[in-house]
């Protein structure tokens, strides 16, 4: 009987997830190729599909089958006699079912419709540098987020409910405890770096033909083992990765002729996400377990490949000459030492996605602070542009001239993804912790990077993180691999070691 119930649950789950992937296809198309005039109709299409998917996910039969297998709110994993894989499946499905059944279908449809309109409004408003045009949409997304948190049972602290969507078990208080020493350590390091001679950067702002950038980026995707027979690379206003199916994991990026590192590192970053998505084990394929354990764990993968690998000396010892051959006019007379220092230049900047490793997490801490103040009622939407400028001045010492480079620079709020931003800083923290464990297992990873042996690194990640998907929660993964809860110190030590060498202090 238990086997029959499990098999039926898996069929229902798989069908519901296929429906949600249809919605993801429509959203991907909206971000890449959709004609501007089709935005409103597309919002309605996505709304309808999301409503149908919600209906499948919340089918009362799912609740009946979960109960029959001993899964409840108090015991989500079900009967102890079941194998670990089945208990992990039940726990994940119970979490999803309990959350989704608290959301009325008309609310889900309304949010999906408003997300589509909000994202389109954000694109237009950012281009026109017109926050007032975007503000009503942003207000609507904030209100939807508050309503969703209340449905989940987090009416007294809505922000905890939103954080928990992306990082199960994480809270505002825990994030504050992590981010306070992180901010202090980063600020100290920034101050010391600022007192040192800065690297030359002029050669990074010459004319790098975008068509050639694309060729180099595609080579990087291949070298890092992204399976392009199961995905593709396109362009969008904001780089992202989306999973449209087990064998369809897509990446987008954006290129600038006078900034080749922007496109390159966004491609490597998104490849990190895609490698995770392509790495789920065959035993969880197509199920609720075939997803990231959390967005923080997901970001640990993208930040690992982008920064710890892609900005390392070992990486550029392997790729500097091929890169130089592709852009000879731009890099004539530039040696690897100058290039490596330029790639790792630390200069607080306005744009998060182009930020250096040291200042990047301060961008996230700013957004975390603004989000928690929004949901505590301390800030309202009209307050955000000025609060943004104040935060940038305080944390990074730079202030945007425009809202396009300030409060409107990221797509996430237009999607209603409040509680998501902390994942980026958590990704830095988790990634450094994983590298510490990786180094203990097989020594300095730099030797593998210098040889282009990315397979060894990838297989280590696959075996411990990718293949199990959501079978473990983030804290469980950290204890399994590192033996400790989240800790900012390994990340701060990594930065201290790397940048004290680069800046000679």
**Angle at 505 (CA atoms; ends 482, 343), nearest 5 degrees:** 70
Distance CA 299, CA 292 (A): 10
**Angle at 502 (CA atoms; ends 329, 436), nearest 5 degrees:** 115
CATH 1.10.1370.30 fits 172-503, yes or no: yes
- With a cut of 80, say whether residue 220 has pLDDT above it: yes
Q: What is the pLDDT of residue 272?
A: 98
Q: What is the pLDDT of residue 409?
A: 95
Instruction: Give φ, ψ of 186 to 5 degrees.
Output: -65, -40
pTM of the model: 0.94
- 64 given a catalytic annotation: no
Average pLDDT over residues 22-39: 91
Model confidence at 1, pLDDT cuts 50, 70, 90, reads low
Average pLDDT over residues 429-455: 96
Contact residues for 289 (Cβ-Cβ < 8 A; gap 6+): 88, 89, 92, 280, 468, 469, 470, 471
Q: Where are the alpha helices (DSSP H) in 153-171?
A: 158-166
- Which of 31, 50, 172, 270 is an active site residue? 270
Q: What is the pLDDT of residue 354?
A: 84
Q: Where are the alpha helices (DSSP H) in 332-488?
A: 336-343, 357-376, 384-395, 422-442, 446-450, 454-461, 474-481
Domain residues of the chain, as ranges? 2-154, 172-503
Alpha carbon 181 to its chain centroid, in Å, reads 22
What pLDDT digit, counting tens, does each position of 249-295 carry? Answer: 999 999 999 999 999 999 999 999 999 999 999 999 999 999 999 99
What pLDDT digit, counting tens, does each position of 100-157 carry? Answer: 999 999 999 999 999 999 999 999 999 999 999 999 999 999 999 999 999 999 988 9
């Amino acid at each position: 009987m238990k086997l029959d119930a499990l098999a039926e649950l898996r069929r229902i789950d798989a069908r519901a997830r296929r429906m949600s992937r249809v919605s993801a296809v429509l959203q991907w198309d909206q971000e890449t190729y959709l004609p501007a005039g089709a935005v409103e109709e597309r919002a309605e299409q996505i709304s309808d599909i999301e409503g149908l998917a919600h209906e499948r996910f919340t089918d009362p039969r799912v609740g009946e089958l979960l109960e029959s297998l001993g899964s409840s709110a108090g015991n989500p994993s079900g009967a102890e006699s079941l194998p670990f894989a089945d208990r992990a499946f039940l726990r994940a499905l119970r979490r999803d079912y309990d959350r989704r059944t608290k959301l009325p279908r008309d609310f889900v449809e309304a949010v999906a419709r408003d997300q589509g309109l909000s994202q389109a409004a954000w694109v237009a408003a950012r281009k026109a540098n017109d926050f007032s045009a975007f503000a009503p949409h942003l207000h609507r997304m904030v209100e939807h987020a508050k309503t969703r948190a209340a449905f989940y049972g987090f009416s007294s602290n809505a922000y905890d409910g939103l954080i928990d969507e992306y990082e199960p078990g994480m809270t505002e208080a825990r994030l504050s405890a992590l981010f306070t020493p992180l901010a202090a350590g980063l600020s100290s390091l920034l101050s010391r770096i600022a007192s040192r001679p800065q690297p030359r950067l002029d050669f990074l702002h010459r004319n790098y033909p975008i068509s050639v950038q694309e060729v180099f980026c595609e080579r990087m995707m291949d070298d890092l083992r992204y399976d392009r027979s199961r995905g593709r690379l396109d362009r969008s206003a904001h780089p992202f990765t989306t999973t449209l199916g087990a064998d369809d994991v897509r990446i987008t990026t954006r290129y600038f002729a006078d900034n080749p590192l922007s496109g390159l590192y966004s491609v490597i970053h998104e490849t990190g996400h895609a490698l995770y998505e392509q790495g789920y084990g065959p035993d969880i394929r197509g199920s609720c377990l075939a997803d990231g354990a959390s967005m923080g764990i997901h970001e640990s993968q993208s930040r690992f490949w982008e920064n710890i690998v892609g900005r390392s000396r070992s990486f550029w010892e392997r790729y500097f000459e091929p890169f130089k051959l592709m852009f000879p006019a731009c890099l004539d007379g530039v040696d690897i030492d100058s290039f490596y220092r330029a790639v790792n230049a630390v200069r607080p900047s306005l744009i998060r996605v182009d930020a250096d490793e040291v200042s990047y997490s301060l961008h996230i801490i700013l957004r975390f602070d603004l989000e928690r103040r929004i949901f505590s009622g301390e800030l309202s939407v009209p307050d955000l542009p000025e609060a943004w400028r104040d935060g940038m001045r305080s944390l990074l010492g730079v202030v945007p001239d425009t809202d396009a480079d300030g409060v409107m620079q990221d797509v996430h709020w237009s999607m209603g993804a409040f509680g998501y931003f902390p994942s980026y800083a958590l990704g830095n923290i988790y990634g450094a912790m994983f590298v510490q464990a990786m180094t203990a297992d097989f020594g300095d990873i730099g030797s593998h990077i210098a040889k282009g042996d990315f397979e060894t690194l990838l297989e280590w990640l696959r075996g411990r993180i990718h293949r199990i998907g959501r079978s473990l929660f983030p804290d469980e993964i950290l204890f399994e691999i590192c033996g400790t809860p989240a800790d900012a110190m390994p990340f701060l030590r990594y930065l201290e070691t790397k940048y004290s060498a680069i800046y000679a202090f």
